[in-house]
Chain A
Amino acid sequence: MLIIDLIKDAVFAAIAAIGFGAISRIPRRAYLWCGLIAAIGHSLRFLLMGPVLGSMNIIVATAIAAFVIGSLAVFVSPFARTPAEAYLFPSLLPMIPGIYAYKSFGGAVMCILGRDPERFDFYFRQFTQNGFIVISILMAMVICATIPIFIFRSRAFRATR
Chain B
Amino acid sequence: MTCTTIPEPFESVYLSDDPLTPVDRQCCSKEVCLFLTEYAERLLGAGATCMRIERNINRMAAVFGKKVEITIMPRHVHMTVWHPGADDIYTYISTVKAAPISYSLNTRLSQLSWNVADDHLTLREAERRFRKIITSDHENPWLTLLLASMANACFCGIFGGDWIAMLIVFIATGAGFNLKQVLASRHVDARVIFFICAFVSAVIGATGYIFPLGDTPAIAVGTSVLYLVPGIPFLNSFNDLLYKHYICAICRFLDALVLTGCLSLGLILAMKIMNVTLF
Contact = CB atoms under 8 A, between A and B. Distances in A.
Q: Do A and B come from one complex?
A: yes
A25 B111 contact: no
Interface string A16-43: 1111111111110010000000000010
Nearest to B233: A89
Contacts of B235: 85, 88-89, 92, 142, 145-146
Contact of B101 (A25, A146, A150): A25
B150 A27 contact: no
Given A85-B52, A102-B222, A107-B279, A149 B239 contact: yes
Contact of B154 (A16, A27, A99): A16
Contacts of A11: 154
A7 interface: no
A2 interface: no
Nearest to A102: B222
A160 interface: yes
User: Which of A92, A138, A160 lies at the interface centre, i.e. has the most chain B CB atoms within 10 A of its CB?
Assistant: A160
A9 B235 CA distance: 23
Interface in A104-151: 105-107, 109-110, 138-139, 142-143, 145-147, 149-150
B110 interface: yes
B251 interface: no
Given A24-B103, A86-B106, A86-B107, A8 B157 contact: yes
A129 to B, nearest CB: 14
A98 B143 CA distance: 26
B147 interface: yes
A18 B159 contact: no
Interface residue SS majority, chain A: helix
B158 A25 contact: no
A13 interface: yes
Nearest to A77: B107
Contact of B155 (A16, A86, A103, A143): A16
A98 to B, nearest CB: 6
Interface stretch (B27-35, B65-73, B190-198, B223-231): B223-231
A94 B107 contact: no
A12 B103 contact: no
A83 B107 contact: yes
A123 to B, nearest CB: 8
B144 A23 contact: yes
B141 to A, nearest CB: 10
Contact of A146 (B139, B226, B239): B239
A19 B106 CA distance: 18
Contact of B238 (A23, A106, A142): A142
Contact of B149 (A19, A81, A103): A19
13 contacts: A15-B151, A16-B152, A22-B151, A24-B101, A25-B105, A27-B107, A85-B52, A86-B107, A92-B231, A93-B231, A102-B222, A143-B238, A161-B111
Given A102-B222, A105-B264, 6 more contacts: A86-B103, A93-B229, A99-B222, A109-B279, A143-B238, A160-B110
Interface of B: 47-49, 51-52, 55, 100-107, 110-111, 114, 118, 137, 139, 143-144, 147-152, 154-155, 157-159, 177, 222-223, 226-227, 229, 231-232, 234-236, 238-239, 242-243, 264, 268, 278-279
Interface of A: 8-9, 11-13, 15-27, 30, 42, 81-83, 85-86, 88-89, 92-94, 96, 98-99, 102-103, 105-107, 109-110, 138-139, 142-143, 145-147, 149-150, 157-158, 160-161
